[in-house]
Structure 1
Amino acid sequence: MDRVQVIQFRAALKELENVEALRNSSVLSLHLPSSSSLILVKNRVKDEQSRAANIKSVSNRSSVQEALRSAVDMLSTVNVMPPHGLLVFYGQSVLNRATGEVSHLRRTLTPPEPVQEFKYDVSKTFSTHSLHQLLVSQEGGVGYIILDGSAVALGTLSENGLKVHHHENVDIPKKHGRGGQSAPRFQRIRLEKRQLLVKKVQALVEGGPGQLKDQLVERLPQLLKGAVRCVENTSYSGRQGLREAINATRDLRQHMLLEKSNTVLSSIFEKLRIDEPDMVCFGDEVRAAMEDGAVQVVVLWDESPEVAWFAENCPEETELLVIPNRTNNTNMIVSTFGGIAALNKYPRAVPQEEEAE
């Protein structure tokens, strides 16, 4: 999934989270993995529609039945299940908490990463919490290694999703041997194999269920050791362990994004302080500078109306940092720069206002 789709998916989740069902009504959420049978799902929704007839509240019964009827209609327009699954949301009358407006909401979304579990939910709010685990965008740029005595998995997380570079099953004996081997000899063989495995992996470590991850951290070259931001205990190894570590370090990736945006904003203020205004630009100037190929990095408020345009038009060589609405950095960029600022690659002439005759 490209940068535009990731930002659109994030915006869709925010829209869903900003609304709630009116009193005595409900909204419907359906999370469908790619393995789901559309026919079976439609049949289940129809069964739920029959059960909804037992709801005592007339208004709530009506809203639930309408949501289920609409879900069947929405599913009927899908001929082939998308590779990552499908998300269906319906609310007959929902209240926007921020604006107080009441509207009709009907959405089908294709997620950036595969939906892991089937979910059917009818409640006052849309079920979106688990979907944030599928949102990988610029929170990425993080390398993961998950290892224990049974498997090693190496992957990177970027705006294009999780890429597993290597997965290998390994054979380290368990603590208790069989076949009459003496305990000291068996323990020596086990330790030797553990040491060989640690030596074999020379890269960044993020997690694992056992102690091997800690031994690997100790053996890393100094350059890589300095890059270790977190060592996670996971319940699983292999690909499942990668997923677990990614979910567990979402706050870390968000913190890394804020650190990076803070560094860029500090650089922008420093350029202004030392009177180098041709190295920075703001507002409408950013578009022109980017079209000239002069922009190195753009910092953008995630509720800015410009987000979609920059996501679609930002060149590959220009970094785009979209920062959330709940940070001090956001207040700074909105109050000082109108929600958008950029650091240039090289000095660019600042547009001069024409003098009145």
Structure 2
Amino acid sequence: MLRQEYSIAQNIKLKRTRDAVLSAIGAAIDRLSKIPKVEGNGLVLFCGENFDTEDFKCFMFSPPEKVPLFFYRTDKEFHTEFLEDMIEDTAVYGLIIVERDEATIGLLKGTRIEVLEELEGFVPGKHMMGGQSQRRIERIIEEMYHNFLKEVGDKVNAYFLPFVENGKMKGILLGGPGYAKEDFYKEDYIDYRIKKLILQPLIDVSDQGEVGLREMVMRAEDLLKNQQYVEVQKLLEELKYHLAKDDGLIIYGINEIRKAMEMGAVDSLVIYESNDKELEKIAQEAENYGVKVFIVGDELPDAEWVKKTFNGIVGKLRYRIS
């Protein structure tokens, strides 16, 4: 692919741009040709020239977590947005929702909830037959139930043990709508190292999938104090409350926010994750003023609200200002 891109780049009309692109692609080809096989978490390769300083740099590395996608771009800047979650909040929480014949396994990383897998089994309900037939069927159903929980446990071990072994798993939430979560916790379905990290109490959750994971995280608010997802969700609810009351404690607009920060009036900001340089700049300024900043992406349900209603940035004030 890069060799094809190299041929195409030879048609760029501006000499300086053409030379820069050819140098970058050529350097990338040279480095990749020396690697017989890509293993582990995949490969990241940045090559390019800084036009202002005329410095040429190449960075090639395997990141701390698996590369989430294949991405190639010739641009004016290196695209690091796909990798930033790997270093911004290294601690993760495991999420498990389990019932008789359904389960969801996920992760909570910063402000992002990730569904790792949804499982579905077939465990019939009680039968009304009498005598030995009923007892035999009940034994079969109990075995099917046990096998399903064992399958869930095997999946949990496969997903969570790497995080436990490298010290990144901070805790695990276990929930569900009925008694299955208690059975799953009490029996030996999961590795003892994972079991030790399950936070108490177990959580009643009515749904499966991503909706259920979000419900469980918010119900575990007391167990997840100072966790980013919980904090930003609470802040967004506060912002909606202040907006509805029109009490002057919500602020938006870059110029207005910047003036309020200079007065020391801004408590916290929610900023939509984008390539907007002005938003990136104000996020850096805000931290210098001691403002708590939350960067949210599309994985958060209300991120679209921040993006469309407030052009990507909204904040809460410590006090009203004129």
TM-score normalised by structure 2 residue count: 0.40
Query: Structure with the greater relative contact order (CA < 8 A, sep ≥ 6): 1 or 2?
Result: 1
TM-score normalised by structure 1 residue count: 0.36
